[in-house]
């Protein structure tokens, strides 16, 4: 996530944004796949900006799986071979890392704490994946180089790695408030998203339970966060996509991916996809962000339905091929053409907003 606090911009890929708030403990749960080298670099970057990161404010699950260089290389090679059917992966190795997890051959963060065990597992995995990389026509990995880089990162992260489930349940017992922060949107969910244009994990609210070890009945509120317009990174169907909205937002310097720097695809607010996201996540409250991105428009559109083969749809079809043929049905509203970026209460907002 990209977060601006006190006029300073922070780009956080793995460390929760709560790290910017004093007195908060940030937990990276078992459901995350982690590149230890990237985390160590992110921690160093926060230190350079005056943000202290220690065991007092960061805990990493020993059960979280590790992203390794062969995951990234295989991710890239697979994407290259898909040609026009590419899914728009960030090529960070996320999918292959989850693949190893499901295949029960992954390396976990806890393994990094036992050098002999880690080296044994790494040797096996690099030997196997070098066969795959060579078959792809890519260069094989050097075991010693990978081992050295990851053992160095392991020592830096050693103080942070532990049993996050026990910590979270202790916090629940003490009646402390816990906020779960997801990294991606509903339609990137491996089960409920626009398959195959999805990520490799569950990004809906239920993923907070399986990805943390906190049971469902302890979740007492689900906050749905959405922009006042719609965006998408990478490939996949996007019914409300609009070039004028994209050009306007990109011209403001908005909507570029924090991981890849790629320009996000943009379009009008999609109440159809939002309606279904509400069903999937059991949303109690909604937070609308980036309202000020629409401040200059005389007219604002909201997609209320899709039209597919003459039929009006209130929720999107689960088949991405059908979704690609859906036409948006819009309701137009007068814009507010007043700056809203300093609004902090409902009373501060223009009536049309």
pLDDT tens digits for range 105-146: 999 999 999 999 999 999 999 999 999 999 999 999 999 999
How many CA atoms, within 13 angstroms, populate the side-chain half-sphere of residue 263?
13
CA distance 119 to 103: 20
The separation between the first and the last C-alpha atoms of the chain, rounded to the nearest angstrom, is 25
CA distance 107 to 112: 8
- Amino acid 301: pLDDT: 97
When computed from its CA atoms, the radius of gyration of the chain, rounded to whole angstroms, is: 22
- Amino acid 89: pLDDT: 75
- Amino acid 4: pLDDT: 83
- Amino acid 82: pLDDT: 80
DSSP 297-313: -SEEEEEEEEEETTEEE
DSSP 337-351: -S--TT--SGGGS-T
1-179 carries CATH number 1.10.300.10: yes
With a cut of 70, which residues of the chain have pLDDT below it?
88, 258-259
- Amino acid 262: pLDDT: 83
215-348 carries CATH number 3.40.50.10890: no
Asked whether the beta carbons of 26 and 59 are under 8 A apart, the reply is yes
- Amino acid 170: pLDDT: 98
Q: Where are the domains of the chain?
A: 1-179, 215-348
Q: Which two three-digit tokens encode residue 30?
A: 């078992």
Q: Which two three-digit tokens encode residue 53?
A: 């990161």
């Amino acid at each position: 996530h990209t977060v601006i606090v006190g006029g300073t911009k922070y780009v956080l890929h793995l460390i929760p944004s709560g790290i910017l708030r004093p007195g908060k403990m940030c937990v990276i749960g078992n459901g995350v796949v982690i590149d230890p080298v990237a985390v160590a670099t992110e921690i160093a970057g926060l230190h350079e900006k005056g943000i202290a990161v220690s065991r007092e404010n960061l805990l990493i699950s020993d059960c979280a799986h590790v992203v390794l260089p062969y995951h990234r290389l295989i991710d890239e090679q697979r994407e290259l071979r898909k040609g026009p059917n590419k899914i728009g992966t960030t090529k960070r190795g996320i999918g292959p890392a989850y693949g190893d997890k499901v295949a029960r051959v992954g390396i976990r963060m806890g393994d990094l704490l036992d050098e002999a065990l880690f080296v044994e597992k790494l040797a096996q995995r690099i030997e196997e994946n070098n066969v795959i990389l060579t078959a792809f026509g890519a260069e094989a990995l050097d075991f010693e180089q990978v081992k050295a880089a990851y053992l160095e990162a392991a020592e830096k992260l050693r103080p942070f790695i532990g049993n996050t489930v026990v910590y979270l349940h202790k916090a629940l017992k003490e009646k402390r408030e816990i906020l779960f922060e997801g990294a991606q949107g509903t339609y990137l969910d491996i089960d409920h998203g626009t398959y195959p244009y999805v990520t490799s994990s569950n990004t809906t609210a239920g993923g907070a339970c399986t990805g943390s070890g906190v049971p469902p009945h302890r979740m007492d509120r689900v906050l749905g966060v959405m922009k006042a317009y719609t965006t998408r990174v990478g490939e996949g169907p996007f019914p409300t996509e609009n070039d004028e909205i994209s050009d306007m937002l990109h011209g403001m310097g908005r909507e570029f991916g924090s991981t890849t720097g790629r320009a996000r695809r943009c379009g009008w607010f999609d109440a159809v996809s939002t309606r279904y996201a509400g069903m999937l996540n059991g949303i109690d409250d909604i937070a609308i962000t980036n309202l000020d991105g629409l401040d200059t428009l005389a007219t604002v559109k909201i997609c209320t339905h899709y039209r597919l083969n003459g039929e009006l749809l209130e929720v999107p079809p689960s088949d991405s091929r059908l979704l690609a043929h859906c036409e948006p049905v819009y309701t137009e509203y007068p814009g507010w053409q007043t700056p809203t970026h300093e609004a902090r209460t409902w009373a501060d907002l223009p009536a049309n907003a």
